[in-house]
Amino acid sequence: MQVGVAPEETVVLVGWRKRSDNYVLVRMKAEAILYASEGVGIGIIAKMVERAGRTVQEWLADWRATRMCSVLTGHAGNQNAAKPARAQKEELKPSSPSRPPRRASTPSSGTSQPCATS
């Protein structure tokens, strides 16, 4: 399964693959996409990144759908953290239950994040 990668994207993917401070999953996805862009088969890519072939196929499908955004995992912001423990929930409770919490203001400019994670 071959994917198209623009020269600018290749530069970024190679950089992500080489950086040791990036998250392992980002490096593996970048490597898999680079291999696929060169026509390497799914089975070989799966061996190289030590993942199942189905996982690699999903990464490549995500690449086709969202390009560079698909490589970023969302782990950096601790977005995949477990639910808070009971003690943490107690800390999160408002000190004055009679008053509703204030709403956070949202920008009205209509700008969106290019790689928003869910």
Contact predicate 44/35, CB 8 Å = yes
Residue whose pair of structure tokens reads 């999953």 in the numeric block:
25
Biggest CA pair distance of the chain: 62
Question: What digits encode the pLDDT tens for the residues 15-49?
Answer: 989 888 768 899 999 999 999 999 999 999 999 99
Please tell me whether the overall predicted TM-score, pTM, comes out greater than 0.75 for this model: no
Kindly state the tokens that stand for 112: 């969106």
Residue 79 burial class via C-beta count within 10 angstroms: exposed 0-12, middle 13-18, buried 19 and up: exposed
Residue entry with tokens 């008053």: 99
| 68 has pLDDT over 60 | yes
Q: 34 near 9, Cβ under 8 Å? A: no
